[in-house]
Amino acid sequence: MDTQDDGSIPVILCIDYPQNAPALEIRRQVLEAVGYRVLTTTCISDAREIIFGNNIDLVLTEQVDAASLAAMKRLKPRVPIAIYSADCRESQQAMRFAAVFITKLAPVDELLDTIADLLEKPTLIGTGVDWYLKAEIEIEQARILLDKSRSLIQASGKLASRAHSRLSQSLRAPQAQGSKRALRNRAETAAPHRVAA
């Protein structure tokens, strides 16, 4: 488990949405009151820099962007992530990278007990399941690459369709010109006969 420099005070990174900043501040005060050091952010992309530059023991996040949580796991695979949200449906994808889901409807005591358990038993997501986390991250990366490949294939298909359309038009143009020329020749050939009549 990562610890602060003095090795005694657990450090918790709390992440929430900008509109929940007042609630995030209250959460910070509650956690500090029971003895934790707390870092906060309302930007999940900034959280990666915070994790990289600090000894974090636990991430408590309302934001559930799966790609960002996967990036956190790549930086600090042994740091547990707890999703703290009112809506478990939004958290389903992100739960692959989290140790636990804590509902915001739970009493504060339950939140504190869960945090204490995670800090006391980091092996919940420690070496025993590192292979699983790596596999999940690789699957996520493969999905991203697959989505990009699909986009490229769609773009290639559109380009091929346009090229085919232009080719068809260019092939039709000489035929149309040839047909006009043939009609003109016929008209010119027929014209003297009409005059002679």
Question: Over the chain (197 residues), what is each successive 10-residue block's mean pLDDT?
Answer: 58 94 95 96 87 91 84 86 80 78 88 91 46 57 79 86 81 62 64 52
Q: And the tokens for 56? A: 């974090």
Q: And the tokens for 153? A: 């294939």
In this prediction the pTM is: 0.58
Residue extents of the structural domains in the chain: 11-125, 130-197
* The domain defined by 11-125 carries CATH number 3.50.50.60: no
pLDDT value of residue 155:
85
pLDDT value of residue 178:
60
| 44-53 and 66-75 helices, crossing angle to 10° | 10
| Beta strand ranges found along 42-152 (DSSP E) | 58-61, 81-85, 100-103
pLDDT value of residue 180:
60
Cα distance between residue 95 and residue 65, in whole Å:
10
pLDDT value of residue 44:
80
Contact between residue 73 and residue 23 where contact means Cβ atoms under 8 Å apart: no
